[in-house]
Structure 1
């Protein structure tokens, strides 16, 4: 029994050696990420408060040569990252890769892809080792916008007219004046009326009738103007014809000879 136990001890030490002797390729930083030394693919661990992100035999090309010896079979390097709360900056505006959390953007200071572990606290990290940052969005306000009233549906005895009412949003930095949004974003209690009554006067009222039919009270103005124009044209035509006839008579070489004979009784 003692001989069997003595023979099993070297085997146990050989199995535990990868876990006890961990050669790191980079020093463990106080924040960000780092590569571990060669560890078992199934039992690799990170330092306290660091989380395993990925693995690679050569640290994605960072642990070559004298920095780290080649890993044994079934062993690999692990990439460990320490999560933290993002710092508030204004660096996310120019980054194409960023996460939208409604009132703020989450990004990495080098514009790489961020990893968020808790959406409530925004706890996360950047795999590149850059700082996790957060940029607050400009304050957005919503208000109702009412269009002009349309024509009344009836000239008298009560009608209804309508208008368009929609909800619009705007930003406090004046980058965009206003833009349409869903009506649920505006307060329903402050919504202007979309319709109202109009032309409540009775159709039997003489003043209403006069206003509705102003042409029936007398001869229309255009008809009077037409009669006057035709009359002036007729007078002008007669005068022109008479003048032409007179000129022809006065300038002609022949004429009438009037012989007056005195009667004798």
Structure 2
């Protein structure tokens, strides 16, 4: 039987004790180096030479596209949270037309590709209702798309709450507001945070599809630049790195709060 070297084992000799931070960093760094080496070898084998000299020349346009992506994503997140809360509440209402409308909305949005929704809402709904501002249209489209997923995240988290805890809160004399504040809200935040963080990352990445209606966000900016200098590999590798610069911090913040809000452990 081959024993794994101690350097690569996740736990120390004492059971249940996590690996020291230095060991974790060293192993993660080794994995990153291995991945970079594989990518670099693949580029060399394909005869592709990367060139990022264009960044200095187009830095203003790239920065403007980056800010546009951040702005669209932030606005869409706020609106989609409002939509998600409203739809989740509507799915549990006793008014059947409202419940079925919310259910139909979720099914249609989750069952069709975002790019179809972009074309449909902008060129048909937007034209019919006079929404000709591409940025505004993009924010509305992303909000409607993400709102359906947030509604399902919230609905699933509410259904997962233990009914016994609500009964216990009533038994000790909690009002409805106190039950919501001290029992429901902490568990709801802990259970929805990972999924909501993933949804925020999806909003950022999905904003790239707004380039099909000529919204000058990050992806459209890189597409225009690469159409000029024909540096497709360098441009889109930079694009991926910029999206990672937005999504990786979100994942780190999410993991931090997951640990702080892990009431079960």
Assess same fold via TM > 0.5: no
* Higher strand residue share: 1
Higher relative CO (Cα under 8 Å, sequence separation at least 6) belongs to 2
Q: Kindly name which structure, 1 or 2, has the bigger radius of gyration based on alpha carbons.
A: 1
* Higher helix residue share: 2
What is the TM-score with the length of structure 1 in the denominator?
A: 0.17
What is the TM-score with the length of structure 2 in the denominator?
A: 0.17
